[in-house]
């Protein structure tokens, strides 16, 4: 029988709830132990500074800021890009709309103008329409936010031409890219992270998901905005001290964990094949699974999650009736085989 292990990780389970369950690799643990550190409050932690420089270069921005979480990266971006009382255009199922517990209202005082993001993206016309609303007694738009890859839609990456069309429609408006899984998009589409991020003013990425670092995200953008973001991070309580201990793992993540994401993507496609076979009517098309997330809505979602759990496979639910399976570094081919078998026998 699978049990909760001494480290808190459910040993014996194939854990497909999220890629956040990944644990730091041995190389990360070594880098953490040996990290050079200082007080980042004085700008004196060389490892944090190095991580910020490496990420900024990787996404083609002038500067970057290390923050404790992806949520804080999004919140800092909202605070530096969107004035209180303005509208922010975003897909209705994006993380910063639906999964941050109202933080955008509380921290940034903004109101979302949400648009349909069923397929993970939205179009230039959605932005144009939102901009026009200011002429009809509605709040003016200060910012557009996109999610790449889009989690709730099933890890959907934006294509470069879609991003560029949105950029054109946004005119002078800034765009913030929630690239929590930007490198999954890079590996899946072949477009570089920098080319994708070029359409946005700011971009953030989680180091703590498929890239396996234990903690931390990075927000990049122009020098002055990142300097303002540093103040907002302090206000949110996210300024850290000898954070080089965790930034060291983030450096290993950026340098060594991106290329292997292709394995997670291949495994997610196998899961999607099993889902499509078990529930042919749900419309899950394995060919459309581009990255590491499979979402589907079986007739009895809770029953499916319970059944999988009873067979040693952990799944999550992200909305009523919606099951999510996420592949990652800590699930190997044997784990996938177990999951495939459990899916085939699901009620
Ligand atoms: C996980 C996630 C975040 C937030 O990251 P945390 O580190 O969990 O706060 C933001 N956006 C997306 C798309 C995510 O998947």
pLDDT in tens, 335-344: 999 999 999 9
Q: Output the average pLDDT for the chain.
A: 96
Please, which pLDDT band fits residue 176 given cuts at 50, 70 and 90? very high
Chain centroid, CA 71 distance in Å = 9
pLDDT > 90? residue 3 = no
pLDDT in tens, 222-236: 999 999 999 999 999
Specify the pLDDT at position 318.
Answer: 93
pLDDT in tens, 13-34: 999 999 999 999 999 999 999 9
Q: What is the dihedral of CA 219, 224, 230, 232, to 10 degrees?
A: -100
Residue written as tokens 């560029």?
164
Would you call the peptide bond into 149 cis, given omega within 30 degrees of 0 as the criterion? yes
pLDDT > 50? residue 125 = yes
pLDDT in tens, 76-118: 999 999 999 999 999 999 999 999 999 999 999 999 999 999 9
Specify the pLDDT at position 12.
Answer: 86
Please, which pLDDT band fits residue 134 given cuts at 50, 70 and 90? confident
Instruction: Give 26-256's CATH code, choosing from 3.40.640.10, 3.40.30.10, 2.60.120.10, 3.40.50.720.
Output: 3.40.640.10
Q: Distance of CA 136 to CAs 44, 95, 124, 139, 270, Å?
A: 50, 28, 20, 9, 49
pLDDT > 70? residue 186 = yes
Residue 294 contacts residue 325 (beta carbons within 8 Å): yes
Domain limits, CATH 3.90.1150.10, in the chain: 260-344
Domain 260-344 has CATH 3.90.1150.10: yes
Q: Reduce the secondary structure of the chain to three states and give it as a string.
A: CCEECCCCCEECCEECCCHHHCCCCHHHHHHHHHCCCCCHHHCCCHHHHHHHHHHHHHCCCCEEEEECCHHHHHHHHHHHHCCCCCEEEEECCCHHHHCCCCHHHHHHCCEEEEECCCCCCCCHHHHHHHHHHHHHCCCCEEEEEEECCECCCCCECCCHHHHHHHHHHHCCCCEEEECCCHHHHHHHHCCCHHHHHCCCCEEEEECCCCCCCCCCEEEEECHHHHHHHHHHHHHCCCCCCCCHHHHHHHHHHHHHCCCCHHHHHHHHHHHHHHHHHHCHHHCCCHHHCCCCEEEECCCCHHHHHHHHHHCCEECEEEECCEEEEECCCCCCHHHHHHHHHHHHCCC
Residue 88 contacts residue 111 (beta carbons within 8 Å): yes
Instruction: Tell me what the mean pLDDT of segment 186-194 comes to.
Output: 98
Measured from the Cα of 68, ligand 1's closest atom is 7
Specify the pLDDT at position 260.
Answer: 97
The residues lining ligand 1, judged by C-beta closer than 6 Å to any ligand atom, are: 69-71, 74, 95, 147, 151, 178, 180, 206, 208, 217
Angle at 259 between CA 159 and CA 10, to 5 degrees: 105
- What values do phi and psi take at 327, rounded to 5? -95, 155
pLDDT in tens, 236-267: 999 999 999 999 999 999 999 999 999 999 99
Q: Calculate how far, in angstroms, residue 135's C-alpha sits from the geometric centre of ligand 1.
A: 34
Specify the pLDDT at position 8.
Answer: 44
Mutate to test the pocket of ligand 1, among 180, 185, 316 (most ligand atoms within 8 A of CB): 180
Specify the pLDDT at position 11.
Answer: 75
Specify the pLDDT at position 5.
Answer: 42
pLDDT in tens, 298-324: 999 999 999 999 999 999 999 999 999
Q: Calculate how far, in angstroms, residue 141's C-alpha sits from the geometric centre of ligand 1.
A: 24
Domain limits, CATH 3.40.640.10, in the chain: 26-256
Rounded to an integer, what distance in angstroms lies between the CA atom of residue 254 and that of residue 104? 28
Q: Calculate how far, in angstroms, residue 331's C-alpha sits from the geometric centre of ligand 1.
A: 20
Specify the pLDDT at position 120.
Answer: 96
Q: Calculate how far, in angstroms, residue 271's C-alpha sits from the geometric centre of ligand 1.
A: 23
Instruction: Tell me what the mean pLDDT of segment 38-46 comes to.
Output: 96
Residue 56 contacts residue 64 (beta carbons within 8 Å): yes
Please, which pLDDT band fits residue 2 given cuts at 50, 70 and 90? very low
Strands 14-15 and 313-314: parallel
Please, which pLDDT band fits residue 54 given cuts at 50, 70 and 90? very high
Mutate to test the pocket of ligand 1, among 92, 121, 206, 218 (most ligand atoms within 8 A of CB): 206
Q: How far apart are the first and last CA of the chain?
A: 21
Rounded to an integer, what distance in angstroms lies between the CA atom of residue 64 and that of residue 56? 5
Measured from the Cα of 74, ligand 1's closest atom is 10
Specify the pLDDT at position 1.
Answer: 40
């Amino acid at each position: 029988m699978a049990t909760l292990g001494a480290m808190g990780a459910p040993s014996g389970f194939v854990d497909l709830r999220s890629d956040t369950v990944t644990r730091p690799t041995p190389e990360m643990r070594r880098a953490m132990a040996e990290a050079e550190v200082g007080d980042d409050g004085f700008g004196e932690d060389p490892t944090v500074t190095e991580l910020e420089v490496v990420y900024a270069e990787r996404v083609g921005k002038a500067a970057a800021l290390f923050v404790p979480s992806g949520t804080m990266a999004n919140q800092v971006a909202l605070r530096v890009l969107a004035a209180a009382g303005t509208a922010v255009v975003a897909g209705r199922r994006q993380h910063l709309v639906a999964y941050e517990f109202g933080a955008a209202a509380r921290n940034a005082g903004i109101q979302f103008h949400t648009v349909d993001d069923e397929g993970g993206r939205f179009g230039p016309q959605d932005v144009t329409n939102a901009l026009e609303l200011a002429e009809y007694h509605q709040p003016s738009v200060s910012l557009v936010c996109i999610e790449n890859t889009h989690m709730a839609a099933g890890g959907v990456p934006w294509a470069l031409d879609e991003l560029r069309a949105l950029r054109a429609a946004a005119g002078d408006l800034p765009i913030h890219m929630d690239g929590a899984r930007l490198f999954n998009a890079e590996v899946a589409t072949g477009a570089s992270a920098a080319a994708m991020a070029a359409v946005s003013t700011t971009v953030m990425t989680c180091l703590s998901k498929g890239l396996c670092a234990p903690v931390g995200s990075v927000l990049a953008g122009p020098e002055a905005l990142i300097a303002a973001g540093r103040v907002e991070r302090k206000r949110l309580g996210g300024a850290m001290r000898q954070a080089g201990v965790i930034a060291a793992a983030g450096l290993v993540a950026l340098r060594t964990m991106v290329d292997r994401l292709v394995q997670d993507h291949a495994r997610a496609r196998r899961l999607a094949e099993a889902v499509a076979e078990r529930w042919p009517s749900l419309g899950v098309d394995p060919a459309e699974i581009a990255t590491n997330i499979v979402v589907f809505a079986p007739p009895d979602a809770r029953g499916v999650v319970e059944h999988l759990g009873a067979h040693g496979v952990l799944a999550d639910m992200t909305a009523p009736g919606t099951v999510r399976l996420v592949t990652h570094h800590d699930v190997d081919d044997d784990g996938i085989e177990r999951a495939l078998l459990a899916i085939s026998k699901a009620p």
